[in-house]
Amino acid sequence: MTNIAICAPATPITRDHARALEELVAAEFPGTNVTFHEQCFARQGHFAGDDLVRLTGLIDCANDPAFDAVWFAKGGYGSNRIAEAAVARMNEAARSKTYVGFSDCGYLLAALYRHGIGQCAHGSMPVSARSENGRKAVRRVLQWLNGDNSGLEPSLDGKIPAVAFNLITLAMISNTPLMPDLGGHVVMVEEVSEHLYSIDRLFFHLSGVLPRIAGLRLGAVTDIPENYVEFGQTEEEIARYWCDRAGVPYLGRAEIGHTSANKVVPFGLASPSRAA
């Protein structure tokens, strides 16, 4: 039995979201059990409870030896506010777990990866289980947590370590205590709901702060707002431009992003989940 704890380090989900995942797991993954921490449904303004409530929910899940994995329920904004405190409070049980999420939860994945805590992975989250397209992405995570690698990003070769982040999240963690050493890694980035000029600005920032990485792959860039004037470059042209300026190999596209096609990217060298 694969036992998965679910908490919400940033924004809350509803009980309908939880039921949708529970029904999917019961129907298709009989060897898996999902447990939603009550904190997932807490609300304080934008957040799934205040910082202490969210931190406590995460630590409850991470430090409990009964669970094999911690799956972040939803992104939004807020996991950065508790990431440093969380890794400082994690015990030995937390170090043997798998942690899955993406978007804003990349702050936590970065902190965990920096401190060598568990197996981190960029993957879709339980909030997507209510739609048919969302369930496709959720299934990939559940399959991977049960040892099936068919839903991994296809460019992973098991020889060069990789990570995947939302572009703005990666830019925000650079030069902070959350930033892991990404030297020698293939770095994959994706983005949603940002103007192309903002994409360009984020790449400008990252081109000056990333260590010598093995290369960059660009995932989906979706829901780009229309600007009053056309920027003049596509998202891929922007990525190529800044890779050339920084002397970083541009390796092409990656199948990650805020879409139902989002694939799983284990941090480091791709392998079956520790939860399997």
**Residues near 51 by beta carbon (within 8 Å), at least 6 away in sequence:** 81, 82
| Integer Cα distance of 161 and 237 in angstroms | 25
State the average pLDDT over residues 6-13: 98
Say whether pLDDT at 273 is over 70: no
State the average pLDDT over residues 43-68: 98
Ranges 36-50, 121-135, 173-187, 261-275: which has the least confidence: 261-275
User: Starting at the edge strand that comes first in sequence, how are the strands of the sheet with 69-72 ordered?
Assistant: 32-36, 2-7, 69-72, 98-101, 119-122, 265-266
State the average pLDDT over residues 53-65: 98
| Integer Cα distance of 273 and 141 in angstroms | 10
Whole-number average pLDDT of the chain: 96
Q: What is the pLDDT of residue 38?
A: 98
Task: State percent of the chain over pLDDT 90.
Answer: 96
For the chain, list the domains and their CATH numbers: 2-150 (3.40.50.10740), 162-253 (3.50.30.60)
State the average pLDDT over residues 127-134: 95
Q: What is the pLDDT of residue 229?
A: 95
Q: What is the pLDDT of residue 276?
A: 61
Where residue 211 falls among pLDDT bands split at 50, 70, 90? confident
Q: What is the pLDDT of residue 270?
A: 73
Measured in degrees and rounded to the nearest 5, phi and psi for residue 14 equal: -105, 170
The SS3 call for residue 20 is helix
- 213-261 pLDDT per residue, tens: 999 999 999 999 999 999 999 999 999 999 999 999 999 999 999 999 9
Within 13 A of 13's CA, how many CA atoms are on the CB side? Answer: 26
36 forms bridges with which residues in the sheet?
6
* pTM for this prediction: 0.96
- 13-38 pLDDT per residue, tens: 999 999 999 999 999 999 999 999 99
- 134-159 pLDDT per residue, tens: 999 999 999 999 999 999 999 999 99
Where residue 50 falls among pLDDT bands split at 50, 70, 90? very high
Say whether pLDDT at 96 is over 80: yes
